[in-house]
Amino acid sequence: MKYLICFLSLFLFSFFIPSSNYAAFSDEDCLSFIKPDPSVLGQGEISKVEFRIKEGCLLKRVSFDSLSVPFKEEKDGTLMVLVGVGLKEKPCKKKIVFHLLKDGIHIKETRYIRVKKKRYRAEYLKVKKKMVSFPPNILKRVLDDQQAIRTVCGNIRPVIFWKEGFVWPVRSKILSPFGLRRYFNGKPRSPHSGVDLRARSNTPIRSPNDGMVVLVRDCYLSGKTVVIDHGGGLFTLYAHLSRVNVKRGQMVERGQIIGLSGASGRVTGPHLHWGVSLLGKRVDPEMLMRLLGADSNPLPKI
């Protein structure tokens, strides 16, 4: 029995002792404050996390959900990271870990953001069978298109191109909101991963901020599609364009026309589907504009 007690004592002592590479956590170490906006995330939402580092400390990196997240310095010297969760995220607590250096010692300070379930509107549609199932050759193309978009949006670039003051790619009415849960003939489909904006054919579509074009592709479902990398794991996607004015690898500026709206791909009429991906997860474009938009006024909905 005494051997068991000794073993348990040794195990617990070794479990709670800090590693040789990192000092134990303390509120007095390096973070002077941290302000997530919002501090509780619904599924598909974004948080702008602002913080300051005390004098004598050096921030090495920030990680969220085990991913390194590039940080950005704001005009007043405050540091900021953008984090977000996808529509399929289960309610939980997510760690934001700050990796710092103080007096030659590595320090990890951890904070948490809570994820809660969010209810989105549902839409029930009766459609022809060919609208909900694809023959093998078409299905392969659809899956290849989806994988190509996932691949570029999963590449978290350490540099940040964007600046404060995002603009809408087209300022009009929202036809279909983010997260809308569609049922075709009673069967659930994937939730709407962006917003549909009203746009007549050949309406100029603008880049909402500075970035690099990382994908130009003619997709089966989304038609002529463009993806822009704004750095730091933030991407924007534009679908159903009638014309593309940019090339892969090209740098674009906020407000630059990247193409014209249309009805390419599988749609019933011209409009712009605008999506936002953050750290590999599709998130709500309206929330991005509320947090970082040059004009915080929401767009009218139909």
My answer on whether 164 and 76 are in the same domain is: no
| Bridge partners (DSSP) listed for residue 236 | 228, 276
**Residues 182-213 pLDDT 10s:** 888 777 778 899 999 999 999 999 999 999 99
What are the two backbone dihedrals, phi and then psi, of residue 98, each rounded to the nearest 5 degrees? -100, 120
Low-confidence residues in the chain, pLDDT < 70 = 1-28, 127, 129-132
Residue 3 lies in a domain: no
Judged on CB neighbours under 10 Å (0-12, 13-18, 19+), 66 is exposed
**Does one domain contain both 215 and 245?**
yes
pLDDT tens profile 65-87 = 889 999 999 888 899 999 999 99
Same structural domain for residues 128 and 110?
no
Rounded-to-integer distance, Cα 220 and Cα 138, Å = 8
Whether residue 268 sits in one domain with residue 230: yes
Give the domain range for residue 206: 122-292
The reported pLDDT for the residue numbered 52 is: 93
* Cβ(261)–Cβ(202) below 8 Å: yes
Asked if 52 and 32 count as a contact pair (C-beta separation under 8 A), the reply is yes
For the record, the structure tokens of 39 come out as 């501090």
Q: Is the dihedral of CA 68, 73, 77, 81 positive or negative?
A: negative
Considering 67, 85, 116, which residue would you say is the last residue of a domain? 116
Q: Which of 175, 282, 161, 177 is nearest to 229 (CA)?
A: 161
| Predicted pLDDT of residue 28 | 54
157/96 same-domain check = no
87: alpha, beta or left? (left if phi > 0; alpha if psi -120 to 50) = alpha
Q: Is the same domain home to 84 and 141? A: no
**Shared-domain flag, residues 263 and 147:** yes
Helices (H), the chain: 2-16, 136-153, 285-292
Question: Could you write out the DSSP letters of every residue in 159-227?
Answer: SB---S-B--SS-S-EEE-TT-EEEETTEE-PPP-EEEE---TT-EEE-SSSEEEEEEEEETTTEEEEE
Pair (133, 71) in one structural domain? no
> What pLDDT does 1 receive?
46
Say if residue 287 is in the same domain as residue 150. Answer: yes
Domain-ending residue, one of 116, 135, 168: 116
Q: What is the pTM of this model?
A: 0.87
Cβ 225 vs Cβ 239: under 8 Å: yes
Same domain (yes/no): 132, 108: no
Same domain, 282 and 137: yes
* Domain final position from 87, 116, 145: 116
**Structural domains counted in the chain:** 2
Which CATH number do you get for residue 57?
2.60.40.10
Decide: 284 and 178 in contact? Cβ < 8 Å.
yes
* Residue 253: inside a domain: yes
Contact 184, 258 (CB under 8 A): no
Q: Whole-angstrom Cα distance, residue 157 to residue 221?
A: 27
Residue 130 has a pLDDT of 64
Identify the pLDDT of residue 119. 92
DSSP state of 4: H
Contact 70, 81 (CB under 8 A): yes
Q: What is the CATH number of the domain that holds 199?
A: 2.70.70.10
CA distance 213 to 271: 21
- Same-domain pairing of 95 and 233: no
Asked if residue 297 belongs to a domain, the reply is no
Whole-number pLDDT of residue 124:
83
